[in-house]
Amino acid sequence: MTAVLVIATMAIFATMALALIRALKGPTIYDRIVAVNVFGTKTVLVVALITYVTGHADLIDVALVYALINFIAIVAVLKLVKMRDLAKAGEGDITDG
Amino acid sequence: MAETVINVLSAIFLLAGGAFGILGGLGLLRFPDFYSRLHAAGVTETLCAVLIVLGLVLQSGFSLLTIKLLLILLFLLFTAPTATHALARAAMVDEVEPEVIAKQSSENRPAPGEPSSNI
């Protein structure tokens, strides 16, 4: 069963590599942000898989916290890119319209 | 007997999750414009998470680990579509153009932020 877990982990690592290539290639800033978003989600899954491969049950807390931080980070970076300022609101905001 | 069935089911879920992950990554890398890349990433991302978490839940049965895994799944199912929506919204407001509309003439192009279905 460990072999299946390792194969799934390797598949997720391959996905993270593909997402990194897209993050480096661009071309728009949004391509980079969506690639980093995919990378973060896959990190959560990899940490959950590694919990089962190694048997350290504590590691699942890391995945839980990462899942929360990842979303906040993506929305914060998106807002910073759109408005150039985290405190500013108005025309062209990510919640605009 | 029951343990074998559960192991096989879990392996199927895990391998399918890994396969969907790679498909999403390939789509993210190969698709031509931003919105189709968002489609590939955003759709396969939730499916991959669901399959892998279900596979892992079948491994551990009823335990604290299962509850935490299901919490992770709950968070991912809320946040991944929200992040995808916010990205698509921001790109539309910022006039990132889909490739199909970019090939049309400039008169009947919808205004930025308008849905493209009414042209």
Which residue in A45, A65, A66, A79 has the most chain B C-beta atoms within 10 A of its own C-beta, making it the best mutation to test that interface?
A: A45
Taking only the tens place, the pLDDT of each residue in B22-66 is 999 999 998 888 888 999 888 888 999 999 999 999 988 888 899
In a domain, residue A90? The reply is no
Q: A89 at the B interface (CB within 8 A)?
A: no
Round to whole Å and give the CA distance between A12 and B53: 13
What is the reported pTM? 0.84
Distance CA B66, CA A39 (A): 23
Chain B interface includes A96 (CB < 8 A):
yes
**Residue-range domain boundaries for chain B:** 2-93
Contact residues on chain B for A61, CB-CB shorter than 8 A: 68
Instruction: Give the three-state DSSP class for A56.
Output: coil
Residue A75 lies in a domain: yes
In chain B, the residue whose alpha carbon lies closest to the alpha carbon of A8 is B18
Is A96 domain-assigned? no
A92 within a domain of the structure (yes/no): no
Q: Identify whether the C-beta of residue A51 lies closer than 8 Å to the C-beta of residue B63.
A: no
Q: Which of B51, B28, B69 is nearest to A37 (CA)?
A: B28
Q: Is residue A95 part of a domain?
A: no
Which pLDDT score, from 0 to 100, does residue A66 have? 92
Instruction: Give the total number of structural domains in chain A.
Output: 1
Alpha carbons A44 and B44: distance in angstroms, whole number: 15
Residue A71 lies in a domain: yes
Rounded Cα distance between A43 and B114, Å, is 35
The H or E element spanning position B29 is helix B2-30
pLDDT greater than 60 at residue B103: no
Residue A46 domain boundaries:
2-83
Chain A with chain B: Cβ pairs closer than 8 A: 156
- Residue A89 within any structural domain of the chain: no
- Select from B14, B20, B23 the residue whose CB has the most chain A CBs within 10 Å, as the one to mutate to test that interface: B14
pLDDT in tens, A36-73: 999 999 999 999 999 999 988 889 999 999 999 998 99
Least confident range of B3-7, B37-41, B53-57, B89-93 = B89-93
CB contact under 8 A, A35 and B28: yes
B10, B25, B90 member nearest A30 (Cβ): B90
Selection from B75, B113, B105 nearest residue A60 by Cα: B75
Q: Answer with the residue of higher pLDDT: A89 or B106.
A: A89
- Can you tell me the distance from the alpha carbon of B106 to that of B91, in angstroms, rounded to the nearest whole number? 19
**Beta-carbon separation of B53 and A64 below 8 A:** no
